[in-house]
Structure 1
Amino acid sequence: MAVLFSIIPGVAHAAPDRSVGVFRAVPAATAAQAQQLSGLDQNVPTPVTFDECHKDIKNGYWTKNRFASCTITDMTYQRFACPEAGCAVIGTAWARVISTSNLLPAQRRLEVATRMVGWSLTGVVTDAMRFGVSMSCGPRYTTGTAHCDDASAQVLKSVADWRAQSDETHVFTMEGTDPASPADSPSVQAEQRTWYVGERHLVAEETGDRTTLVTGAHSAYLRCDIARQLDPAYAAGSDCAFGFQPLYILDNSATSGFTASATLVRNAMTSFSNTYPGLRQGHFVPGNPGYQGTGANRTYPVTRLHYDTAAQAAHRTTAELACTQHWGPGYATRPDGLVNACAAYPFDTTYDGATLPTPGVDRGASYAVQPVLSGDYQALLANVRQFLVANHLLDGDGYWVYPYA
């Protein structure tokens, strides 16, 4: 519904030989988009408001984060003098329609708000004519018990009523579950991931005459689960999320506690050939959405790895081996008496972490390591974890890493 659901899913970008699910990949970030996201709390999701919503010409909607999105539609209505083609237009209506969708914290509920303003009427269309928005909500799959408390909802008011009260809000509750997939691990099955789909379009009351209306129709998927209830340290925010792969942003203003580790990530994105092992192992690093709006070096999202601690340990072992090979077995010892850690990108907590090449397989994705102060690297990892938890990114969910400078 893009009042209700404003994300239109598409084909996910996947690492070789590994699916990252059905979340839609975010377009390459532009410098302007990064500036909008830049700030002290840019990785902590907050609700979207009418006033901050803006048009995204390319996508038709704006996604602030995995819990908040909005659309702006210019509603255009025409009434004709007769049913035949070529008849004169005898009345028109125009309005700006702003729709926000905010998934409520710690709930399976979606607050949908619609604002209709800036009315312009001509001819036979008067303030008594009624316009509004129609929404539907239901399961994506029919094999389980998933459903919404309201299968459909409609707000239809006269222009006079919209002018008197421009904002309307409706809340949908997603209920039930999809059957567990046998392909998922027991840990993932326990999360009860369940998919819903919705639609939204603008409506006008029937007049009996021939009319046209720009409906601003939108549709999208969202996923709900009980992961937060099972482990609040693993997933927070709403118990549902839009199908969106967010940006983890390394903004200079927010990386004062881990400048060396942030520099490693930035170098991996912008000058990969100058990192180690870099091109010695593969051609690129995952997670790059395209630096500073150019789209250069764009790859595919990295994917959160949570449950398989053995795989995380293997990534750590591979990274530390690379640090030892390049900087020697004493890389952890510093002249100031402090201790270095082997910082690595992609992070150990991704399926894309440091991995030795497979014999006989063409070199593909690679990684970068660098000895940095242990406290610096631990601060980066804590910041990444905060982002993952706050954005309700579960095991197998993808996200991009954007080193905004």
Structure 2
Amino acid sequence: MPNRRRVACALVTLVTVFTAVPATAHAAPDRSVGVFREVPAGVPLSKSLDLRKLPAAMPQAQRALVSGLDQNVPTPVTFDECHKDIRAGYWTKNRFAGCTITDMAYQRYACPEAGCAVTGTVWARVISTSNLLPAQRKLEVATRMVGWSLSGVVTDAMQFGISMSCSPRYTTGSAHCDTPSAQVVKSIADWRAQSDETHVFTMEGTDVPVATDSPAVQAEQRTWYVGERHLVAEDTGDRTTLVTGAHSASLRCDVARLLNPAYAAGSDCTFGFQPLYILDNSATSGFPASAALVRAALVNFPSTYPGTSQGHLAPGNPGYQGGSAGRSYPITRLFYDTAAQATHRATAELACTQHWGPGYATRPDGQVNACAVYPFDTTYDGATLPAPGVDRGPSYAVQPVLDSDYQALLASIGQFVVNNHILDGDGYWVYPYA
């Protein structure tokens, strides 16, 4: 965005999350100038920090992270649990909740030249949460500004706040937001008196259906929106400030829950985030044998059957213990094509029969085994025979386990994809938490 001249209580905006571009300002030599910046993670806050010389924030790798054991049953993110993720720049708790923490800094200089003295400073911690409300097409954006520190010519009458917008990602359909933009701007004194502010956007309308989607997917009316947030600061007098950008997030809304509550739950909108199904010890107490098979497939794939005789990896691994070791790609939910699910089941049972014999389902204690498989039948990545002449790629793992054990795993997975509003064609990870 180009520089714009500001007069009489103009507002200047600042990027809140992803990038920090060197700020520049211009004014007459006899006028002071304000510079408003985000401080990149790792830069210590000090009164001697010169925002005109602040280095740009380093780009961070986007990696799937374990962000809390409630991911299997997603809950809203709160101010108190929000934290900085130095690798991504923001924290995504689940498909409905994310947050940012910004160390805001404002400095006023005696003149625009590099050698001019700082005449006033403002520091604050800004926490912003985004929660998609359950069973609705609503986005709740809440902001907390705390920890104010002022020095020099700046007083607590100066105003700071947040500017928000909501818009359709595509303009060919009827998608829109009830409020295209909103902002909350208050004096520092008012923020100290009431540190929290909340605004709710409603997403409405639909995108044009994608012609290549199946009729079932088209009926879900998947529609995309974009939300943006800027910090804003009051800037009085004849001054200019470079606007640096915005934090932007894409989200998708649909009517899948209304069509079939057993297929999708939670909010009617989700962020573009692939969640993790977490195999922690407490969650897998009802299906230890099936969980052991999944862990083995993700952590020690050569130890499984058919294992490396057919492929060389199991998909769905975000990287063991938060690192990159074993990382593959997400598995993808398969819901509508029941014939493909049946093919995956038949392929898995054939593998169990070939390796453990036709009696693998019979147990000495009179109970019944099932042929457990990973990836699951209800994914596009389920057990599949290799195509002749095709290079070996992903494979699958099977193991006879007690039928009740395997059914408990399937029920847990089924509830996870429903709770997280993972639709047919959406990806998710399986985290082999020890």
2-structure distance, mates of 1:383, 1:275: 22
1-structure distance, mates of 2:78, 2:242: 26
Paired residue for 2:168?
Answer: 139
2-structure distance, mates of 1:319, 1:111: 44
Paired residue for 1:314?
Answer: 343
1:286 matched to 2:321: no
**Distance 1:48-1:80 versus aligned 2 partners, 3 A rule:** same
2:99 touches 2:130 (CA, 8 Å); kept in 1? yes
Paired residue for 1:47?
Answer: 76
2-structure distance, mates of 1:70, 1:178: 27
**Distance 1:6-1:397 versus aligned 2 partners, 3 A rule:** farther
Structure 1 gaps, min length 5:
9-24
1:66 matched to 2:95: yes
Q: Deviations over 1:188-212 (max 9, x none)?
A: 0000000001211111012226576
The structure whose Rg is larger is 2
Deviation at 1:77, TM superposition (A): 0.6
Q: Deviations over 1:275-312 (max 9, x none)?
A: 00000110101000111123111000000000000000
2-structure distance, mates of 1:213, 1:98: 23
1:37 matched to 2:68: yes
Match of 1:169 among 198, 202, 219: 198
Q: Deviations over 1:130-180 (max 9, x none)?
A: 000111110000100111111111110000000000000000000000010
TM superposition score normalised by structure 2: 0.84
1-structure distance, mates of 2:214, 2:17: 30
**Distance 1:181-1:216 versus aligned 2 partners, 3 A rule:** closer
Paired residue for 1:27?
Answer: 63
Deviates more, 1:207-216 or 1:129-138: 207-216
Paired residue for 2:416?
Answer: 387
Q: Secondary structure at the match of 1:205?
A: strand
2-structure distance, mates of 1:333, 1:7: 57
2-structure distance, mates of 1:398, 1:177: 22
1-structure distance, mates of 2:381, 2:97: 27
2-structure distance, mates of 1:26, 1:331: 43
**Distance 1:232-1:367 versus aligned 2 partners, 3 A rule:** same
Letter in 2 for 1:290: G
2:161 touches 2:184 (CA, 8 Å); kept in 1? yes
2-structure distance, mates of 1:198, 1:68: 13
2-structure distance, mates of 1:403, 1:313: 26
2-structure distance, mates of 1:42, 1:153: 31
2-structure distance, mates of 1:266, 1:49: 31
Letter in 1 for 2:225: Y
**Distance 1:332-1:26 versus aligned 2 partners, 3 A rule:** farther
2-structure distance, mates of 1:7, 1:286: 29
Letter in 2 for 1:167: D
Deviation at 1:58, TM superposition (A): 1.3
Match of 1:108 among 127, 130, 137: 137
2-structure distance, mates of 1:90, 1:208: 16
1:221 matched to 2:257: no
2-structure distance, mates of 1:51, 1:378: 37
Match of 2:225 among 196, 202, 209: 196
1:178 touches 1:194 (CA, 8 Å); kept in 2? yes
2-structure distance, mates of 1:215, 1:128: 25
2-structure distance, mates of 1:294, 1:335: 42
2:174 touches 2:206 (CA, 8 Å); kept in 1? yes
Paired residue for 1:330?
Answer: 359
**Distance 1:332-1:261 versus aligned 2 partners, 3 A rule:** same
Q: Secondary structure at the match of 2:418?
A: helix
User: % of aligned pairs identical?
Assistant: 81
Deviates more, 1:113-122 or 1:209-218: 209-218
Paired residue for 1:21?
Answer: none
Paired residue for 1:76?
Answer: 105
**Distance 1:226-1:217 versus aligned 2 partners, 3 A rule:** same
Q: How much is the aligned-residue C-alpha RMSD, in angstroms?
A: 2.0
Deviation at 1:86, TM superposition (A): 2.9
Deviates more, 1:83-92 or 1:148-157: 83-92
**Distance 1:212-1:125 versus aligned 2 partners, 3 A rule:** farther
**Distance 1:248-1:214 versus aligned 2 partners, 3 A rule:** farther
1-structure distance, mates of 2:283, 2:346: 29
1-structure distance, mates of 2:235, 2:366: 79
1:94 touches 1:121 (CA, 8 Å); kept in 2? yes
1:319-358 superposed matches below 5 A: 319-358=348-387
Letter in 2 for 1:107: Q
Match of 1:251 among 248, 265, 280: 280
